[in-house]
Structure 1
Amino acid sequence: MVSTDVAAPLTPAPGAGGAITREKVRQRHWKLPITLAVGTILIWIMAFAFGRDGTSTYRLGDRTSAIDLGDIGVPTAATVTACAILLALMTAYAFWAVATYRRVGLWLSIVFAFVAVFAFLTWSAAGGLVPVTGLLFGAVSLSVPLVFGALGGVIGERVGVVNVAIEAQFLFAAFTSAIVASMTGSFVLGLIAAMLAGALVGSVLAVFSIKYLVDQVIVGVVLNVLITGLTSFLHGALLNPNAETLNSPPRFPRWAIPGLSEIPIIGPVVFNQTLIVYLMYIAVPLVAWGLYKTRWGLRLRAVGEHPQAADTVGIRVNPTRFWNVLLAGAIAGIGGAYFTLGSVGSFDKEMTGGLGFIALAAVIFGGWDPVRATLAALLFGFTTNLETLLTNLGSPIPSEFMAMLPYIVTILAVVGFAGQVRGPAAAGKPYIKG
């Protein structure tokens, strides 16, 4: 929701030789305050209409940590009430800032989200125990494929190709990695095969959208349907009858980093992970650095923003798009490999569960920025793991709502917290030279 003040009339600028100027039009964007208000109302309903008594306990220690921080108990009713009041104050500040044309910093959304989640956890865990390390560890694990998918989506859209086929890249990469790793007994070869499979799907998207000028969204949707049907058929016809030889891949082992893995809370979550997770730690800053600090990134962004201008200065637009879409598919393929080689340990039909579309939402929520898209992916992973935790805690919230929770949070994040975002100007638009 946007309200706009009427622009000032044209007036000669003093001391500028009578040049005509216009004052900048000021706009109010109410999406963020309204979203905060909705969240505040929900917490107030929990605090005062459905208040719960007892003590909520947070376990900060972990058996792999050298230092045991023990458990911390907080009074449920008083803590939720205090959080509700704090959320109301932050919401009021957001409305005041927008009404007076002040910029609402990102810090407000982060603090609000932290307080709201803490209040919700405290209310749900009345008389129960929240294992903080386990919650965060599960969140990181569930976020891994989303992060790689979001990175692939960022690269693809920054170069001008909308990648709706992330789901297809996930599925085909997971299928291929399971077969290759099972036949060779090597999870490394399975990972390489997954990257090639993701790049292959990306090449089909690139050929049809760049060379034959087919609508990119339509190509992506068709690829998703095609790969879903193909892998489901081959799963029943090929993998099930030969499960021992074709669908029993070795899984990546966890490699604990000495010393760092023993840090309380953070150590087991960040530094006791598999190779794919460590690759994620490298990929995110590497893509961010390459996108903004290298010649490759400058050319990529130029092609996605203004291909005509890029062509004028000698950049080959369509080849640049083609090869970067392949790169994006290979990166998404790493996320697909995580399903079979890092998580489940075998391929099952439609095992990605639509996470490719959530990765695409993370790209938009993150404003087509690799770091912010990663944070959006981590948010979804956290809410997905939160669903499991609250089910184990016996939360009074109906299980049907708990299953919807990750997707509701994603919608609220994209609609409310993302603010006014603009994608690359040439994304989705084919380029015809001349």
Structure 2
Amino acid sequence: MNFDYSPKVQEMQARLLAFFDAHIYPNERRFFAEVEANRRAGNAWVPTKLIEELKPLARAAGLWNLFLPKSSRAPEGLSNLEYAPLCEIMGRVSWAAEVFNCSAPDTGNMETIERYGSEAHKSAWLEPLLRGEMRSAFLMTEPEVASSDATNIQCRIERDGDDYVINGTKWWSSGAGDPRCAIYIVMGKTNPEAGRHEQQAMVLVPANTPGITVLRPLSVFGYDDAPHGHMELRLSNVRVPASNILLGEGRGFEIAQGRLGPGRIHHCMRSIGAAERALQLMCERAIARVAFGKTIAQQTVTQERIAEARCSIEQARLLTLKAAYMMDTVGNKGAKAEIAMIKIVAPNMALKVIDWAIQVYGGMGVSDDTPLAMMWAHQRTLRLADGPDEVHRNSLAKLELARHMAMPGEVSMPVTRGS
């Protein structure tokens, strides 16, 4: 495996870093000031003018739709391995990915429609999403069941003539409060009597369909993530054409597995970027502050944490690159062990590094004067999003155990010490 970045990727890295220096870092405070102004005016979910101003600049810089490989509709799309270092940079600022049309859940939804949608679905929804003209939401998790087991889902999708009728409650539906959100991908059960993994389906639901009620936004450690947000919704007799189903009845679990692979690794790429930013801030603060007669950077405990942070980031990056390489070469299914590993490792690593940075900043670190507190909240959420750590560890352990199981007819020999 060769993880050297190609000249093309190195040039794009330089271009993206220059874009951050010119347009992202200088506008960090403006973004949150604009959100707060909208909140005071009565609606925190209004899209920011800043993002819309920066999108054309990103497109002009050739930094648009980089996440989607092998799509004729997004020729600028990169392989997973090529995208990794660029997605990492986007992760340094919480809102930056949207500027490049590379933010969740739109990336996962676009890939889902590209891989599993019909040509009509792609024309109606994928193309406007790729142009950045609308946003989307993914409705899978439910408040009444342990949604880490997708087979628990209770939302019903029932055939009625030429339509499907949907009833259920969903939450953590990221982006569903955004007025630009025009399409939902909804997962529910079409046949509760089928096999455990053949009961579900996914269907495209326009956001303006009658019967959809946004009940409330959910907060993460006090952050509502406006204007993006995470919404709880009720779907009551929501009726859509039967042609809106993806692949067909009983294929929802299969689609979920295909969708979550890229989504998981993209989160991990951004986690590494967040950790890099935290380490940078930690070092800058440690050099500038004096305590007990010497700088914090001269304190042994700080030096140990800086060294450990660098080791941890590099280890996580290499595992991410390996997972991306595997996805490109043997497919998402063949890379499921590597995807599970990095989904466990990256958020926990980022949490550790961000926590150490907060310690160096002291009281300032837990305030909104730095991005560290929000970064920590986001990374802690990722230990649950797209499957909790426990599910990934369980899956990984089963894969590992399977490697050591004796094949039928084999005799497991005891390990003995040679003479």
* Bigger relative CO (Cα 8 Å, ≥ 6 apart): 1
Q: Which has the higher helix share?
A: 1
TM-score, length of structure 1 as denominator length: 0.26
TM-score (norm 2): 0.27
Structure that is richer in strand per residue: 2
